Structure 1
C-alpha cells in the first residue's frame, strides 16, 4: 500500500497551507479515506483494512516522510482500531462501519463519570486530542464518582467512554510550533449522558478475540507506532537538508548528511528486525515474552533518539536560511522535535 509520486507531490504541495490553517486539507484527508488508512487495525467485517503491525508501522513511516502532520494523523487515527475487541459487534459497526470513521481522544483520566440508570453522566476536559476536527467518535477516560465524589481509593475505577461529536466541545488550543495541522486540541464534555453500551474496559473482550493484532501489548503497540512517525520525519528531514545543500553546492555538509543517512539506515534496520521478530513470536506463541516487550520498548526509544539526533547534528550546519519557517527543512525539523516530545518516546 504505497503512494505514487503524484500523490506524494500532491500532499506535499498542501503542507504549507495545512500548517497555516492548522488543519488537514479535505484533499489530503480524502487520500486517507480512499486508502482506508484510518482502518489499518479495524477488523475486516467492520469495513476494516486489517494489516499486520510491521507493515502498518512502515506505512506510518512513509506517511510521516510525506508530511509530518499527515503521518501523525494517520497513525493516531489508525490506532483507534485497537479498541475494536473491547466493543460489542454492533457498537464496533456503529463506530467504525463507514469509510470516514475515525476516533480522536485521550488516555488521560481528566474527567468524571456519575452512574445513573442505564449509563453515566460525564464531565471533563481532555488535552491533545489529535484529529479532533474530523473525528466521528471520541474516546476518553473518566474516574467513577462514588456518592457524588470522585472515587478516593488508591486505584479508582476508570470508565472508558465513547462519545459522539455533538456531545463534545472542541477548544482550539493546539498552539505548538510543530505538527500544527494535527488539530490536537482539547475537548470539553459537560453533563453528557453516555449509555452503558458506549463504554468499555481494556480487561473485557467482547468481540474479535482471535485477531492477532489485538493481542499485541498496548504499550508496545503505541511505542512502535510513534517510532514509525519519528523515523519518517527524520527521513524527510535528511531528504530536505540534502536538497538544500545540493542547491548551495556545499560538499562538506553534503558529506555529513550522507554519513548521517547511512548511520540512520542501520538504526532503522535494527528497529525493524526486532519489530518483525516480535510479530513472528506473537503469531507463533500467541503472546510476547516480558523480555521481548522490554526489547521492543528499548528499540522504540533508541529509534526516536536516533531520529531526533539527525536534526540535532545537522540543523546547525544548514545556515540561517534553514531558520526561515516557510522552508521545508524548518517545518520538518519542528515537526520532528514535536513528535519526539511524546512521553512514550522519551524513555
Structure 2
C-alpha cells in the first residue's frame, strides 16, 4: 500500500528525486508497465497501464510525468532486437528517456553510426540509464533519403556514459523531473542499437495501437491526475460550486478515456484496425479535456487566497506543475 502523504511530503519543493523515490519507482516496477513480460516487464494492457499512470500523477505531477515519459520510452524495448532488449532489461532498473526532436546526425560507417548533436527536454535526465534520440542519417558526409525522398531518420539507444548532460531545465513547474538537455559528441553506436518506432519484435496488443494515440492517452491521464490532486487540495482551503463541477467532469472524463482504451483493445482482439477517424476523435477528446481542465483550474485558483500563491505550498506546486506540463505540444 502506497503512503501517498509521505510520498508527497518527500516531493514537496524538491529539485530532484532522492534515492527513496527512485527505489519506490523500482519496487513498483512502474517504468516497465509497457515492457513485455519476456524482458522482465509487466506487459500491461493499455487500460491497466493508464490506470497506474493516472494514480501516480495524482500523487505528484513530477513523479507522474517522469514515470509516464520514461515508461513510454521503455516501451521502445518492443522496437529493439530481442537480444539487445534481453541484454538491457536484464536490469530491472533500466530507464530509457530522451527527446523526440531531431537534434543531430548519425554518420553511417559500415555496421556502426557516429552520432553528434544536441537534444532538449529529456525528462528525468539524471536518472536515466539510457538515452533515446532521433538523428538524420549521413553517409560519406551526405544526407541519405528514404523511399519517399525525405531525409532518412533513425532512432538510437545510447548508454548514459555516452551522453553529456546540459543543465537547462529552468521551468516554474515539474522541477523534480530535471528535464535537461543532452549532448552527444562523436559517439559510436552499433546498428543493433538503432530502431524504427513503428517496427516491432514483440506481438502484444499494445504496440498495435498507433503510437500517437498511445502518447495522447498516456499524457492525458497525467493532466487528469494532476487536476484530481489540485481539486483535492483546493477543497482543504475552500468549498464552492465550481469544484463540484470539476469533480463531475473528472469522473466522467476518466470513464470516457478508459472506454476509448477498451474500445481499441476490443478492435485489436478481433483483428480489426483502429481507423484514423477514431484516432482523430481521441486526439480531439484530449484537446478538449485539457482545455476544460485548464478553465476549471483558472476559475478555482483565484478563490484560494494568499496560501495558494506561496511557492512552498503543495497547492501552488500542483498549479505550477499543471501549467508547465500542458505546454507539451500534444494538446497545445
**Which residue of 1 is the match for residue 41 of structure 2?**
48
Q: What is the CA-CA distance between 1:172 and the residue it aligns to?
A: 1.1
Gaps of 5+ in 1: 246-252
2:190 to 167, 188, 195: 195
Q: Number of paired residues?
A: 330
**Which residue of 2 is the match for residue 110 of structure 1?**
103
1:198-239, Cα deviation, whole Å (9 max, x unpaired): 11123533x21x211111110000010000000000000000
Q: Is the contact between residue 39 and residue 78 of structure 1 (CA under 8 Å) also seen in structure 2?
A: yes
Residue 85 (str. 1) matches residue 71 (str. 2): no
Residue 339 (str. 1) matches residue 325 (str. 2): yes
Q: Is the contact between residue 131 and residue 184 of structure 1 (CA under 8 Å) also seen in structure 2?
A: yes
After superposition, where does 1:262-281 map in structure 2 within 5 Å?
A: 262-281=248-267
Q: What is the CA-CA distance between 1:264 and the residue it aligns to?
A: 3.0
Q: Is the contact between residue 138 and residue 165 of structure 1 (CA under 8 Å) also seen in structure 2?
A: yes
2:274 aligned counterpart, secondary structure: coil
Residue 298 (str. 1) matches residue 294 (str. 2): no
Whole-angstrom distance in 2 between the partners of 1:46 and 1:13: 33
Q: Is the contact between residue 143 and residue 152 of structure 2 (CA under 8 Å) also seen in structure 1?
A: no
Q: Is the contact between residue 216 and residue 287 of structure 1 (CA under 8 Å) also seen in structure 2?
A: no
**Which residue of 2 is the match for residue 8 of structure 1?**
4
2:114 aligned counterpart, secondary structure: strand
Whole-angstrom distance in 2 between the partners of 1:217 and 1:176: 30
Residue 219 (str. 1) matches residue 212 (str. 2): yes
1:99 aligned counterpart, secondary structure: coil
Q: Is the contact between residue 35 and residue 78 of structure 2 (CA under 8 Å) also seen in structure 1?
A: no
Whole-angstrom distance in 2 between the partners of 1:163 and 1:338: 28
Residue 24 (str. 1) matches residue 17 (str. 2): yes
TM-score using structure 2 length? 0.94
Q: What is the CA-CA distance between 1:98 and the residue it aligns to?
A: 1.5
**Which residue of 1 is the match for residue 69 of structure 2?**
76
**Which residue of 2 is the match for residue 319 of structure 1?**
305
TM-score using structure 1 length? 0.91
Q: What is the CA-CA distance between 1:118 and the residue it aligns to?
A: 2.1
**Which residue of 1 is the match for residue 156 of structure 2?**
161
**Which residue of 2 is the match for residue 248 of structure 1?**
none
Gaps of 5+ in 2: none
Whole-angstrom distance in 2 between the partners of 1:291 and 1:254: 39
What is the root-mean-square deviation in Å for CA atoms of aligned residues? 1.7
Q: Is the contact between residue 65 and residue 71 of structure 1 (CA under 8 Å) also seen in structure 2?
A: yes
Q: What is the CA-CA distance between 1:149 and the residue it aligns to?
A: 4.1
Q: What is the CA-CA distance between 1:151 and the residue it aligns to?
A: 4.6
**Which residue of 2 is the match for residue 250 of structure 1?**
none
1:257-302, Cα deviation, whole Å (9 max, x unpaired): 2232123322332232223222222222353122211122122222
1:152-195, Cα deviation, whole Å (9 max, x unpaired): 88610012111001100011111100100001100100000011
2:125 aligned counterpart, secondary structure: coil
After superposition, where does 1:93-242 map in structure 2 within 5 Å?
A: 93-151=86-144, 155-205=150-200, 207-208=201-202, 210-242=203-235
